[in-house]
Amino acid sequence: MSRNPDWVKALQPSSPQGHELLQQERSSSKLAIEPLSEFLFGREAIERKFNVLQVLQSEPVFNKSQNAFDGRVQRFETALARAKKLRRLVVKHGWKEEDRRIAAELIGEPLPYALHEGMFLKTLLEQGTDEQRKLFYERAEKYEIIGCYAQTELGHGSNVRGLETTATWNADDKTFTLHSPYLTASKWWIGTLGRTANYAAVMAQLIVDGKSCGPHPFVVQIRDLKTHLPLDNIHIGDIGPKFGYNTMDNGFLLFNKVKIPHVSMLARFSRVDPKTNQYIRPSSPSLVYGTLTWIRSTIVMHAGAALAKGVTIAVRYCAIRRQFRDMDAPDSVVEEMPVLNYTLVQYRLLPLLAATFGLHFTGKAMMELYQENQKSMQANAGKGDLLPDLHAMSCGLKALASYTAAEGLEVCRRACGGHGYSSFSGVGGFYADYVPTTTWEGDNYMLTQQVARYLLKSARAVLNGESTSNDTTNFLTTFRSRSDSAPVFDVLNFDADLVQAFAWRAASMTFDALKKRDDQKMAWNDLLVDFYRLSKAHSQYLVVKNFFESLSALQTAGSLGTETPAVFRKLFQLYTLHTLDSESSDFLLSGAVTVRQIEQSRTTIMRLMKEIRPHAVRLVDAWGISDFQLDSSLGRYDGKVYEDMFHRASELNPLNGITIDSNPNSDVLFRSVGGENVKSKL
Amino acid sequence: MSRNPDWVKALQPSSPQGHELLQQERSSSKLAIEPLSEFLFGREAIERKFNVLQVLQSEPVFNKSQNAFDGRVQRFETALARAKKLRRLVVKHGWKEEDRRIAAELIGEPLPYALHEGMFLKTLLEQGTDEQRKLFYERAEKYEIIGCYAQTELGHGSNVRGLETTATWNADDKTFTLHSPYLTASKWWIGTLGRTANYAAVMAQLIVDGKSCGPHPFVVQIRDLKTHLPLDNIHIGDIGPKFGYNTMDNGFLLFNKVKIPHVSMLARFSRVDPKTNQYIRPSSPSLVYGTLTWIRSTIVMHAGAALAKGVTIAVRYCAIRRQFRDMDAPDSVVEEMPVLNYTLVQYRLLPLLAATFGLHFTGKAMMELYQENQKSMQANAGKGDLLPDLHAMSCGLKALASYTAAEGLEVCRRACGGHGYSSFSGVGGFYADYVPTTTWEGDNYMLTQQVARYLLKSARAVLNGESTSNDTTNFLTTFRSRSDSAPVFDVLNFDADLVQAFAWRAASMTFDALKKRDDQKMAWNDLLVDFYRLSKAHSQYLVVKNFFESLSALQTAGSLGTETPAVFRKLFQLYTLHTLDSESSDFLLSGAVTVRQIEQSRTTIMRLMKEIRPHAVRLVDAWGISDFQLDSSLGRYDGKVYEDMFHRASELNPLNGITIDSNPNSDVLFRSVGGENVKSKL
């Protein structure tokens, strides 16, 4: 920390000032922010967030100003303090799970208890018997024990069946022996395990009477409850620094023939009978299937908000930053243009701004469908008709949504020019912490096979006349019945045609893939690239469809007047035409559009951007992301970008407390005042 | 640091072992690595690199094992020690500039002297008079003074004319006054400035007699040569942490009316006459123009190698990592597939592998052209005919090459699955340190306007029959003469047609843009997206052309036999068809290819990948990137991936030396042995 001399303190940014510019932006659009936010998120959620924010901001431990400077150990220490404080606030204020989740989102860094609060509790609750819930869940809920969910191994991530950790049933003393036969059997990437957890839910290959029964979950104590040291024959540690997520202690875990009692195997669905020593198979595998679908749906739901953080920062800063004069301006104009007025900047940011809303509406629809399915499952003794659709949709949309958000955050960072690269922009950290979402809960590329499998199956049913009616079989049937007449959709004049064109492309690609697989008997592996394209096409159709359907809700909301729905129609068109242009070869191959339409859509995109541009700042304001959450010099609501950048660099940066010796022939590196100079490394 | 218990030390990864798998990969291809490396890089460069590597590896300060764990201040300290040691090695071994650059590349992190060694010395040498060279350059060359190049400001990056720092000529005492009138005038992002430099070459607006004469360079002492503290009325500091590049002290700098003598203004091209107090204009602006072209050419030259680091890591690891069985395999097969056998992994990595070579050949051709131009300029008193072409090519290719390398590195990281996310993969750091290349030396998006301007100008000359013959005017002329007959190129059967199709597309887009600008009088700003596409199209044509031309050199090299050139032909086709497919709408709009050809090219891409796959490991081996340089668990030459990951996480990771208290109700965060527990934050 250092202080600025008086003459520096007296300096102002050159005019126009950032706060004036954002003020102008906000007054040049008549979009009604408050009713729009309320339409998007609901009054209750907005109030809840406001209340949680007030509490967090009054606690010094949540002050983020040192985050950018701290090393890994310091960051973990602070994150642990924050996790503890958050837990105490939950107790103190009687916060619900939803409040806790909002708080974690506002704090904005992965906290060391996260996997305890998420997967560990969920696993105990869903897969434990009543006895096991009493024994483990009740203590875990009160944080008397802290757990994690240990599935992935050093040698195996996606493929659960390939896990190497074993749990061997000992018929003689009615115990299991947990063992890691290879180095690659080490549990790896396990959040909350590295330093924090004293319990783990461990996925291990169950072996009964010499036969493998596949992976099953076991609850195991791993650290002493008093000393917090690992128990005998258990080796645990943090796996080291990562591209992001460094406030989390992702860990490793090895077992050397550790005996655990019979009660350790979570036995709600399958178990070992201690009397007969027989393995008893799971009664309802589809419930587990449901959990994964739920997790993926929340990723879809969250992707719009994740991307909106980057878009908010980039749009605000690009409205303030000025570079160069307009190339066609007369010489008399000396003023530089706000960067956001350049079409090439708009082209990068405005389709992403549109995407935040498209993803938001899609996430909402996805969650509603999930709830609907849960209800129908409860009504039908665990059987949900919607489950196959829901599963496929959640796979494809998880991949598309997380890809869009991750890529988009990086586009936003780069659109901020050099300053986007500074940690004070905030965007780099968001990207680094978000990007693993593209890999976990099903790798985005792997998942596309699930979607393809579902679409091929649906297409086969349509061909055989065996299909039940749903959106997928409907668009496949439509395609079949109309493919001879090869319609070209009027995508530039009718929004409904635009949606139809997306359905047509997905249907056409489905039948192409089916032909290759069923008629030409092509190898599955040789079709993976086709399947990837197909899944993307289908998921893009779903986003476009949900975005389109939300337009009528916007119109009928009443509170929004006419201008807001009109702008959202343009956002829908921009997102959709931009996607169409990016994927044009698919559309052309399917015959849904012509080359001329692609050409014209590019002109339309330029027009739409011009029309959306004046509303850009208000549209990001509608997301309602607080300065506390953004923690960004560039994205400040008040536009005081340069003052904040300078303050952080000059006054908060610990490197500026150090004076070096720059002479290459001097062994001194850092000069210290009143102590020894640092020269140990030379 | 901690130690593994004996039972952990005894563990091995499950079979097959990584080193066996890489051995198999290497023996399944007959590509001759050594002659290939020699063809690509030349024997001299390979030997030079080998010799420098031996020296670096014997110096403990270059041991990289703590890099991933150190915080910013520690990393800077180590980088400073390394910079000093490198300087001493240069003196000790009499290394040439080329050796120093190789060493810096092998060390693999930005070093604090870098801007002194690059831009500061270059600026003094090129823009100083003889007197100034004696005064500044000679001392700087001996590291008696350490400088930086201070151009960019907090409020202005790309637009040099918008700089706010002023240098006002004082006619009375023949001095200049350097001043920062606003906070936004603060120099910002200046490498080597934050902590290291005691001199700076400062770009400031020269004001003579109340009139602005535009930005000019001034050499200024900024820190005391003994105490290293900033001089009076100068405020300097490090700008804080960044997304990458954290071993560099990018700095800020403010002046409060600092007087400097007349000799401070670098006066080779323009100056203030102290007798008449008149400003004298630059004699030859094109020389400065030449420097930027040189810098951009080196970026093109370097992009292939930068990308190759990521591709090497990803290809080797994906040859070792196994997940899932082949979906079509009979049940009897239990073995999992190496990830690199999945076509969806190949689709991500093999076109990038091809791109490394395409970029390498293009960079080489670019440097040769630059040298040719330098010769012709020396022969023609500073006038180079090739300069406009060279300038445009360097702008467009800089943008394409750095974009390809940056995006590609991130694709490589993600292709490594979860482990790609670990710092031990190495790829994340490469990406973070490389990605500013897309912004500096001309923002990639901004630069595309230069290319468009050049192509429009060339097209106007062709239309007016005023063009001189060069490659650009030739393909534009060809397009004009043949556009009525609208040829479709046989891109799937003739490589030369493939190159022609790329030229055709670029020409077609050039004339389209010209029509919009000159006939339809569209605003420049409304054409920026078209210009961006046009620049990309032209640069892709250049890469394809250079790649194609290198194929004959490979064939005639003799030493390479027949298999290597045949594989390179496939790499050329893969890169080119993959680009064609990605950009298909441009090609379709230009009429160069048909929809059916796009469809077929996808099939050809799948075939090419299958044929290239067996050579993948040998091809990355040919890049000859040492383990020392990669510093990656995943990319090790010997394939000992899991052993290395585990060793680093378990034994080198400082977080594992800390025991926490995980109870939320305990104020203790870190428990210490024999001291006070850490609980300060709660």
Contacts (Cβ under 8 Å, ≥6 apart) of B158: A323, A324, A417, B442, B443, B446
Architecture of domain B31-109: Orthogonal Bundle (1.10)
* DSSP single-letter state for residue A153: B
Across the interface, of B12, B341, B681, the residue whose CB is closest to A182 is B12
In the predicted model, is pLDDT for residue B21 greater than 60? yes
Pair A390, A293: CB distance under 8 Å: yes
Give residue B287's pLDDT band: very low, low, confident or very high (50, 70, 90): low
Yes or no, beta carbons of A655 and B152 under 8 Å apart: no
Q: Which residue has the higher pLDDT, B458 or B284?
A: B458
What is the predicted pLDDT for the residue at A186?
98
Give the model confidence (pLDDT) of A92-122 as tens digits: 999 999 999 999 999 999 999 999 999 999 9
Yes or no, beta carbons of B664 and A13 under 8 Å apart: no
* DSSP single-letter state for residue A456: H
Q: Mean pLDDT lowest for which of A364-373, B379-388, B459-468?
A: B379-388
Please give the helix or strand (H or E) that residue A387 lies within, else none. helix A387-415
Domain limits, CATH 2.40.110.10, in chain A: 128-283
Q: How many CB atoms lie within 10 A of CB B376?
A: 14
Which of 3.20.20.220, 3.10.270.10, 2.40.110.10, 3.40.50.2300 would CATH assign to domain A128-283? 2.40.110.10
What is the predicted pLDDT for the residue at A381?
66
What is the predicted pLDDT for the residue at B285?
56
In 3D space, the residue among B62, B37, B56, B110 whose CA is nearest the CA of residue B430 turns out to be: B110
Q: Strand locations in A191-321, DSSP E?
A: 199-208, 211-221, 234-238, 251-255, 258-261, 271-273, 278-280
DSSP string for B464-502? TT-PPPSHHHHHHHHHHHHTTT-PPP-TTT-HHHHHHHH
Determine the distance in angstroms separating the CA of B598 from the nearest CA of chain A, rounded to an integer.
8
CA of A7: which chain B residue's CA is closest? B256
Across the interface, of A13, A421, A658, the residue whose CB is closest to B436 is A421
Give dist(CA A10, CA A5) in Å, integer.
9
* DSSP single-letter state for residue A469: P
Query: Looking at chain A from residue 47 to 86, which residues have their Cβ under 8 Å from any Cβ of chain B?
Result: 61, 68-74, 76-78, 80-81, 83-85
* DSSP single-letter state for residue B673: T
DSSP three-state, residue B86:
helix
Do the annotations mark residue A439 as ligand-binding? no
CA geometry: angle at B238 spanning B235 and B243, to 5°? 150
Pair B524, A328: CB distance under 8 Å: yes
Give residue B602's pLDDT band: very low, low, confident or very high (50, 70, 90): very high
Yes or no, beta carbons of B83 and A664 under 8 Å apart: yes
Contacts (Cβ under 8 Å, ≥6 apart) of B211: B279
Give dist(CA B221, CA B236) in Å, integer.
12
**A672 touching chain B per CB within 8 A:** no
Contacts (Cβ under 8 Å, ≥6 apart) of B10: none
Which of 1.10.287.130, 3.40.50.880, 3.10.180.10, 1.20.140.10 would CATH assign to domain A288-620? 1.20.140.10
Pair B578, B607: CB distance under 8 Å: no
Pair A340, B526: CB distance under 8 Å: no
Give the model confidence (pLDDT) of B229-244 as tens digits: 999 999 999 999 999 9
CA of A517: which chain B residue's CA is closest? B328
pLDDT < 50: residue spans in chain A: none
Tell me the pTM: 0.96
Q: What's the whole-number mean pLDDT along residues B185-207?
A: 97
Q: Mean pLDDT lowest for which of A665-674, B184-193, B260-269, B313-322?
A: A665-674
What is the predicted pLDDT for the residue at A325?
83
Pair A434, A337: CB distance under 8 Å: no
Yes or no, beta carbons of B526 and A606 under 8 Å apart: yes
Give residue B426's pLDDT band: very low, low, confident or very high (50, 70, 90): very high
Which of 2.40.110.10, 2.60.40.10, 3.40.50.11540, 3.40.50.460 would CATH assign to domain B117-283? 2.40.110.10
Yes or no, beta carbons of A413 and B71 under 8 Å apart: no
Across the interface, of A342, A528, A659, the residue whose CB is closest to B343 is A528
Domain limits, CATH 1.20.140.10, in chain B: 288-620
Which residue of the set B441, B466, B583, B611 is catalytic? B441
Give the model confidence (pLDDT) of A285-301 as tens digits: 555 567 788 889 999 99
**Mean of per-residue pLDDT scores for chain B:** 94
Q: Is B109 a catalytic residue?
A: no
Q: Which residue in B6, B8, B12, B14 has the most chain A C-beta atoms within 10 A of its own C-beta, making it the best mutation to test that interface? A: B14
Residue type, B39: F
Q: Which pairing describes strands A258-261 and A175-179: parallel, antiparallel, or unpaired?
A: antiparallel
Do the annotations mark residue B477 as ligand-binding? no
Query: Looking at chain B from residue 173 to 212, which residues have their Cβ under 8 Å from any Cβ of chain A?
Result: 180-186, 188-189, 194-198
Contacts (Cβ under 8 Å, ≥6 apart) of A387: A286, A289, A290, A293, A373, A377
CB pairs under 8 A between A and B: 412
Give residue B381's pLDDT band: very low, low, confident or very high (50, 70, 90): low
